[in-house]
Amino acid sequence: MSRFTTDSVIAVIGAGTMGAGIAQVAAKAGHPVLLFDAAEGAAQRGIDNTAKGLSKLVERGRMSQQDADALVARIKPVSAITDLAPSNLVIEAIVERLDIKQQVFGQLEEICAEDTVIATNTSSISVTAIGSSLKRSQNLVGMHFFNPAPIMKLVEVISGLDTDPQVAADIYELSASWGKLPVHAKSTPGFIVNRVARPFYAEGLRINQEGAADIATIDALLRECGGFRMGPFELMDLIGHDVNYAVTCSVFEAFYNDQRFLPSLIQKELVDAGHFGRKSGRGFYDYSEGAVKPAPATADNCPAPASITIEGSLGVAEALVQLIEQAGITVNRVENDEVEGMIMVGDATLMLTNGQFTTQRAAETMRPNLINFDLALDYAKATRIALAPADQASTDALQSVTGLFQAIGKAVSVIDDVPGMAVMRTVCMLANEGYDAVNQQVCDDQAVDIAMKGGVNYPCGPIEWVDALGLSYALDVLDNLMDAYGEDRYRASPLMLRKVAGDA
């Protein structure tokens, strides 16, 4: 029998955006909710803000006024923490400080019944550490919502070292009954999302730091080619660099300075300057009144080729063939299983990036006019593609390949030769971190994909994405990145190595 029913009293501590949002989620599910905030009047303001938000849903016809009124009526503001005594579950959404959380939970243990479950919405503090000062640490669990809580589906259910497995199971079941997508995870730095997501920011920052592309172009490639809702620089500006940089530093330090999580000097400069992003009016982009967002680098129009020749399999990029044929370009196929898939356009050779410098790959294959192209989520739907020519490639070769992609409706961004380009290296690094989380028993592989889609709106789970790409291909990309940089940052997860070996 479930520990929680709709009659169970849910308490929320902290009436800010996150706390009020969690209260709304619980009230929508039919629970009586107690909302407490130490600041005088804050609980009522949180409820008032919830009512305003619901009124917009009513105006749009997405909720009836009767349902909105009933939901708000189920949330009761309380003025003292002792008023939370009847609660069956208390969810804390307060400041990210270990000492304050421990103090609040210590009070709750004195106030509430012995079987009351206490949940923390912490995004970065160890659940085990929070529980270390409690008498009933078995009742403590992480219940990590994502902002805005009423909209974002994911809830990370975090088990500390002492968390009762049944408590975690009950919170998982409760979250699902609230219409959420819960995932189980161990209390480790960053849990799932804040750990696995680090490469999304780190690789964009690294590409920009090396001068391969400007921020607007990198953002456009991740959006228009990779299918992400926002590029890394747009997203960091939205989150706030003070917050994003602090999380990166926290994960880096918690993993004993593992180079995979190395913070960026570029972002540190923004933080030091007080350029936190949208909230300060300036970050990577200028948000002041009248400021114009820079456009991504886009190649001028080039003539389309009359015909191309494809040798070998294009693998995940096979969808390009139909697009090329639909554009009226003659496609000649040469079956050859012994070579990597390639497209010959006049004197140019076009290949999907494999994590090497195009220049190095051109030298090894003795194809001086080699041009690498980037990974896309869906080549048929992508509106932009990146090209990285070898240093040896001629201008004519680049123009012929540019004209090919423009003929099939793609904007073309030519970037400098950088290993793995933009989308490919980002996706492979995200998947690698996901596999490493699985390998270290933080969660299972399904949880990684659910978490990244439900928590940060990724268009595809990173593990399922590299499965579609081909796990051995993704491993080659990582190995080539490792060879190019010579840094432990790009070491492949042992689980990825094992899976590729098992499929051989």
- Residues with a catalytic annotation lie at 123, 144, 156, 194
Cα distance between residue 185 and residue 154, in whole Å: 12
Q: Which two tokens stand for residue 356?
A: 């090497």
Cα separation values, 261 from 78, 248, 391, 423, Å: 42, 7, 31, 19
CA angle 226, 232, 237 (to 5 degrees): 145
Which two three-digit tokens encode residue 334?
């040469």
Residue in the structure block whose two tokens are 């996150």: 18
**Residue 16 burial (C-beta neighbours within 10 Å; 0-12, 13-18, 19+):** middle
Report which of 268, 251, 123 is spatially closest to residue 198, judged by C-alpha positions: 251
Q: How far apart are the first and last CA of the chain?
A: 46
CB-based burial label for 334 (10 Å; 0-12, 13-18, 19+): exposed
Q: 133 - beta bridge partners?
A: none
Give the ranges where 151-288 is alpha helix by DSSP (H): 165-177, 193-196, 198-209, 215-224, 232-239, 241-254, 265-273
Q: Is the dihedral of CA 356, 359, 360, 364 positive or negative?
A: positive
H or E segment and range at residue 27: helix 17-28
Is residue 462 reached through a cis peptide bond, with omega within 30 degrees of 0 on the bond before it? no
CB 37 within 8 A of CB 60: no
Environment class of 156 (CB within 10 Å of its CB; exposed 0-12, middle 13-18, buried 19+): buried
Residues 6+ apart with CB under 8 A from 272: none
Residue with tokens 């490919």: 424
Neighbours of 353 (CB within 10 A): 26
